[in-house]
Chain A
């Protein structure tokens, strides 16, 4: 069933039940987002970037977790929304090793794009910058993993889940120590041959194919 919603004063006709974020993106209304992939049944809403204000809700909400209903009125660029998005991006950047010159994702990095859009400096001041060791994990046969570039968006884990064959990726540990884990034995047994789903989807260059 199609319903009408209003976003930033524009009336859009969208599929009922679709997430508000997807409805906006499909109609060329950009809402910053990082952890979202189309067709997620249960969005993690972990990047905290896709905030919008919805009439009738006391606070901004993450648009990826709002299902559209007829008559919904939302605004994507209020000061409250931008403030939340800037804080979230600053926090994400604080755990990200900003060394764009030596990063393969330079110029196509989602963080660079978000920083430009939200007018946030790439090196946030006054925030601690925790770093993980070792800085490079070469144990996987196909790719190198750079934990300090990773912002834990979880897209690779989701991509691995969707790819044919056994899922070999997951997050391990927790808090600041949370780190991507991959089953090297399964990878060596051939699971990751011909599949680069995780490397292709990484928005920040944390997963890089090994040259062979």
Chain B
């Protein structure tokens, strides 16, 4: 995590009680609250779950138990380039699990995890809605159809090139320091 990111997270944590105020303290509010927290942080930080447990006056273990039950909730921050590998029926038949495995090996993380530099995260999804292009992977919002293990290297190179281009542009636009 870079300093800027941990700063915004600390700020969000500070403002969390404010966001909790509209919710009552009945335990039935737990899931809507967790959804709200995930919307703000894009994941469920441990510190935020503690605040939620105190707000509802229920054990932290119970909050954690409920949160882990649902696939919707994640406990690691998503990367700047979230990679979603489709394992819906069509992609499954076309070897989506092989694509997933290749991403995992390339990045050295498992599905549901984020790289240490927070650049990439991998998750599996069930159908993106373009089965004709199976197997499909999403990088950010971009759909990559007809995926093959051989395409993965090129994909990362492209992201790297785009990043460098953006940096160069930024430098050119900025007046010399």
> Quick one: CB contact mask for A166-184 with B, threshold 8 Å, 1 for yes?
1111111110000001110
Q: How many A-B residue pairs have CB under 8 A?
A: 33
Distance A111 CA – B123 CA, assembled complex (angstroms)? 38
Q: Is the CB of A170 within 8 A of B69?
A: no
Q: Kindly identify, within residues 153 to 207 of chain A, every residue whose CB is under 8 Å from any CB belonging to chain B.
A: 166-174, 181-183, 186
**Count the A residues whose beta carbon is within 8 Å of the partner chain — how many?**
13
B residues near A166, Cβ cutoff 8 Å: 59
- Give the residue name and chain of the B residue nearest to A172 (CB): B68
Out of B59, B60, B61, B68, name the residue touching A173 (CB < 8 Å). B68
Q: Kindly identify, within residues 58 to 94 of chain B, every residue whose CB is under 8 Å from any CB belonging to chain A.
A: 59-62, 64-65, 68-69
Q: Is the CB of A181 within 8 A of B69?
A: no
Out of B59, B68, B69, name the residue touching A168 (CB < 8 Å). B59
**Count the B residues whose beta carbon is within 8 Å of the partner chain — how many?**
8
A residues near B64, Cβ cutoff 8 Å: 170, 172, 181, 183
Distance A166 CA – B59 CA, assembled complex (angstroms)? 6
Out of B60, B65, B68, B69, name the residue touching A186 (CB < 8 Å). B60
B residues near A170, Cβ cutoff 8 Å: 59, 61-62, 64-65
Task: Give min CB distance, A29 to chain B, whole Å.
Answer: 35
Distance A173 CA – B69 CA, assembled complex (angstroms)? 4
Distance A167 CA – B69 CA, assembled complex (angstroms)? 18
Task: Give min CB distance, B56 to chain A, whole Å.
Answer: 13
A residues near B60, Cβ cutoff 8 Å: 168, 183, 186
Distance A168 CA – B60 CA, assembled complex (angstroms)? 7
Task: Give min CB distance, A18 to chain B, whole Å.
Answer: 28
Distance A31 CA – B11 CA, assembled complex (angstroms)? 56
B residues near A169, Cβ cutoff 8 Å: 61
Task: Give min CB distance, A186 to chain B, whole Å.
Answer: 7
Q: Is the CB of A181 within 8 A of B68?
A: yes
A residues near B62, Cβ cutoff 8 Å: 167, 170
A residues near B69, Cβ cutoff 8 Å: 172-174
Q: Can you list 10 A-B contacts (CB < 8 A)? A: A167-B59, A168-B59, A170-B62, A172-B64, A173-B68, A174-B68, A181-B65, A183-B60, A186-B60, A186-B61
Further contacts, 10 of them, CB under 8 A, given A168-B60, A183-B59, A183-B64 = A166-B59, A167-B59, A167-B61, A167-B62, A170-B65, A172-B65, A172-B68, A173-B69, A174-B69, A183-B60
